[in-house]
């Protein structure tokens, strides 16, 4: 081998390999894509938690007590409802509002029993599912309709089997009776609702453990306004059930317009400077 040939072989051995056509930019782009995706997912998760903690949250509470306003019966698809968490920062719940609330200690009969897993991965998936209404929330959460507020007296029933508030019968078109059953409610003694508390009932009156029975009934069956999580606004799932949840005020419709006027006047006066 000549000296020139040996020199050429030596130069070829030390000569670096030619760079790839994209100069390694493909690997950089892939790494950047996964990094940006992870960041976006993290931001979306944080925003979801913040929105559902402070503004609104999708709930599924599989209870038949609100049939047929809300579906939660055995053998049917449970409704997912969007709950407004903001409104009650500006006013108290009103008669006719459908509210989601934490069951007070006196409420010993839950609307349902959630299945809990000891597997941390399953627990995390259940928590994520509850954020968007794909999994059940805490079994101590209830959904009922406000019937009477603090200072009012509620009882049942008049000769036409209507609930009375302050001696006046309510107009309740949302009441549901199971077909073939007794189409009336059982009587209960007058209950004067304490200030800062609510008397709530399910729309399916024969299938609801509510203020009439929980804690032995009476004052013990009322719930504190501070236990209210928010107002159920809209049915978001399933698609065939989309719609606004009625907040029909049974007291106004039954002749309580003056009461509503007084409440609005008091609320407006509370905003005036002293």
Does the bond joining 68 to the residue before it have cis omega, within 30 degrees of 0? yes
Question: 65, 130, 204, 211: which one is catalytic?
Answer: 65
One pLDDT digit (tens) per residue for the chain, 274 residues: 555 555 555 555 555 555 555 555 556 666 676 777 777 777 766 666 666 666 778 888 888 899 999 998 766 778 989 999 999 999 999 999 999 999 999 998 887 655 555 666 655 665 565 555 555 556 688 999 999 999 999 999 999 999 999 999 999 999 998 888 888 888 999 999 999 999 999 999 989 999 999 999 999 999 999 999 999 999 998 888 999 999 999 998 655 444 444 444 444 444 545 4
The answer to whether residue 65 is catalytic is yes
Question: Would you tell me how many other CB atoms lie within 10 Å of the CB of residue 52?
Answer: 18
Which of 235, 6, 210, 226 lies closest to 109, judged by CA?
Answer: 210
The answer to whether residue 85 is catalytic is no
DSSP state of 22: T
Q: Is residue 246 in a domain?
A: yes
Question: 63, 85, 94, 144: which one is catalytic?
Answer: 144
The total domain count for the chain is 1
pLDDT digits (tens, 9 = 90+) for 112-162: 655 555 666 655 665 565 555 555 556 688 999 999 999 999 999 999 999
Q: Look at residue 137 in the predicted model and tell me its pLDDT.
A: 57
| CA distance readout (Å), 76 to 70, 118, 126, 144, 260 | 11, 28, 21, 19, 37
Q: Is residue 26 in a domain?
A: no
Does the bond joining 211 to the residue before it have cis omega, within 30 degrees of 0? no
237: left (phi over 0), alpha (psi -120 to 50) or beta: beta
Are β-strands 188-192 and 56-59 bridged in parallel, bridged antiparallel, or unpaired?
A: unpaired
pTM of the model: 0.72
Q: Is residue 78 in a domain?
A: yes
CA-CA distance, 95 to 202, in Å (whole number)? 13
CATH number, residue 129: 2.10.109.10
Q: Is residue 25 in a domain?
A: no
CA angle 158, 162, 166 (to 5 degrees): 75
């Amino acid at each position: 081998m000549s000296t020139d040939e040996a020199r050429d072989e030596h130069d070829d051995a030390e000569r670096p390999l030619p760079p790839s056509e994209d100069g390694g930019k493909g690997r950089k782009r892939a790494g950047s894509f996964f990094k940006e995706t992870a960041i976006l997912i993290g931001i979306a998760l944080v925003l979801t938690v913040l929105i559902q903690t402070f503004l609104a949250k999708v709930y599924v509470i599989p209870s038949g007590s609100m049939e047929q306003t809300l579906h939660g019966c055995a053998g049917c698809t449970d409704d997912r409802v969007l709950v407004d968490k903001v409104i009650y920062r500006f006013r108290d719940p009103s008669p006719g509002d459908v509210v989601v609330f934490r069951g007070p200690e006196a409420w010993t009969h839950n609307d349902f029993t959630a299945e809990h897993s000891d597997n941390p991965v399953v627990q995390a998936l259940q928590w994520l599912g509850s954020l968007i209404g794909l999994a059940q929330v805490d079994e101590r959460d209830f959904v009922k309709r406000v019937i009477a507020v603090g200072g009012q007296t509620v009882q049942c029933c008049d000769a036409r089997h209507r609930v009375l508030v302050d001696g006046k019968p309510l107009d309740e078109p949302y009441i549901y009776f199971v077909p073939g059953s007794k189409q009336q409610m059982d009587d209960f003694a007058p209950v004067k609702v304490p200030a800062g508390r609510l008397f709530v009932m399910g729309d399916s009156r024969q299938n609801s453990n509510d203020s009439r029975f929980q804690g032995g009934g009476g004052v013990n069956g009322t719930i504190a306004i501070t236990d209210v999580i928010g107002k159920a606004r809209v049915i978001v799932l399933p698609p065939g059930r989309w719609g606004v949840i009625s907040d029909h005020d049974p007291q106004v419709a039954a002749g309580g317009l003056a009461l509503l006027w007084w409440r609005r006047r008091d609320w407006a006066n509370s905003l005036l400077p002293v």
